[in-house]
Every structure is written in C-alpha cells, then in structure tokens.
Amino acid sequence: MFRRLPEIETASSTVAFTIDGRPASARAGDSVAAALLANGVTVCRNTPVSGAARGPYCMMGVCFDCLVTIDGTGNRQGCQVRVAPGMAVETQNGKREVER
C-alpha cells in the first residue's frame, strides 16, 4: 500500500528512532507518519469509544487519524512532526490526557 516516490529513493541520511520500544529508521526529513508507514506500521492508534484501528490517512494534518505519543507527549499528529534522532514514538490506545 505505501510506496516511496522514485525521486525520494536517493535520500542519503537516515535517522534512528524507536516505535513502541523497537528500533526503527527513517530518512531525514520524513514525518513520523511517513516513517511509521515505511516501517510497516499501519495502525498508530485505537479510538477511545469503539477501539477501531486508525492509521495515517490524509498526511497533511486534517484528519487526526495519525495521533501518536512522541517522547512522552500524547495526541501528537504524526504527519505534522519530523522524525528526529533518538525520538521515541508510541502508538496510542484510546485517548491521552492533555498536558497543561
């Protein structure tokens, strides 16, 4: 389902991060949502009411289906955050409390 564009194939720099505690890598400049898909992770959260699986959909910040926990902060839109070295990404089960 997910495939990189041919002109992106030449990107040279990789970034190491973790997904649910497992080591993963992405290309420099990838969004967290794109990095998840490139690593075979198609479900990044479950809805709080029905528990339905959700994954990156619009990839531009409109749908909120790519919510993940990034470095301990929940409800982050994975498509709006670039992956960074050492970043810890966790899939979400239900809702997260908003930090104040």
Q: Where are the domains of the chain?
A: 6-93
Q: Give whole-number Cα distances, 45 to 10, 11, 54, in Å.
A: 31, 29, 5
Residue type, 75: N
pLDDT per position as a tens digit, 18-42: 999 999 999 999 999 999 999 999 9
Determine the Cα–Cα distance for residues 81 and 53; give it in Å rounded to an integer.
21
User: pTM of the entire structure?
Assistant: 0.85
Q: Where are the beta strands (DSSP E) in the chain?
A: 14-19, 22-27, 45-46, 53-54, 67-70, 73-77, 88-90, 92-93
Question: Top-level CATH class of 6-93?
Answer: alpha beta
Average pLDDT, rounded, for the chain: 88
| H helix intervals, 1-100 | 32-38
